[in-house]
Amino acid sequence: MKTILKTVAVMILIAGCNSKVKQEPSPAEDTLAMNTNEKEKIVLMGTNAFLEITLTIEEKNRDAASGVYSKYKNPFLESIKGAVSKQLLIRENDVQVLHGFETVESAKAYLSTELFSKDIVGELAPLLAAEPEIRVYSVVK
């Protein structure tokens, strides 16, 4: 019985010491702890081109258009070669989708993908009040 009590006492002592030891955060925890500006800087460092698509969408259709953006944001980032970022910008008269890419070639190639030409355009087309404006920009560093 004394042996068991000594063992338990040692385990409690060790557990108490371990709880006071400060552990270094893992890289994933470091990334989660970053503020938004730090994360945006990392993304922008890898961005060498932007694809800007300006859409004229009546206010009554904006929620639906926003749903299309949300639905396809992750598939865009996960499956399109060279994709770095995607943001939805809302203005009074129109909506812009700003896509970040590693290269201008990647930005142009995205316009030929099935994800863009079939899925996204297919769902957005009925919501458009005018033809979209598409521009590709290269980033000067």
The pLDDT of 105-127, averaged and rounded, is 97
SS3 at position 115: helix
* 7-64 pLDDT, tens digit each: 433 333 344 444 344 444 444 444 445 555 554 555 567 899 999 999 999 999 999 9
As a whole number of Å, the end-to-end CA separation of the chain is 72
> Mean pLDDT over all residues of the chain?
79
d(CA 86, CA 51): 9
Residue 34 — φ and ψ, nearest 5°? -65, 145
**CATH class of the domain at 47-138:** alpha beta
At 134, the pLDDT band (50, 70, 90 cuts) reads: very high
d(CA 39, CA 47): 13
Q: Is the pLDDT of residue 76 over 80?
A: yes
Q: Which amino acid is at 96?
A: Q
**H or E, element range at 85:** strand 83-90
Q: Can you spell out the DSSP letters for 4-71?
A: HHHHHHHHHHHHHHHHHSPPPPPHHHHHHHS-HHHHHHHHHHT--EEEEEEE-B-GGGHHHHHHHHHH
Residue 26 — φ and ψ, nearest 5°? -70, 165
Residue 110 — φ and ψ, nearest 5°? -55, -35
pLDDT of residue 46: 80
Question: What residue segments make up the domains of the chain, in order of their start?
Answer: 47-138
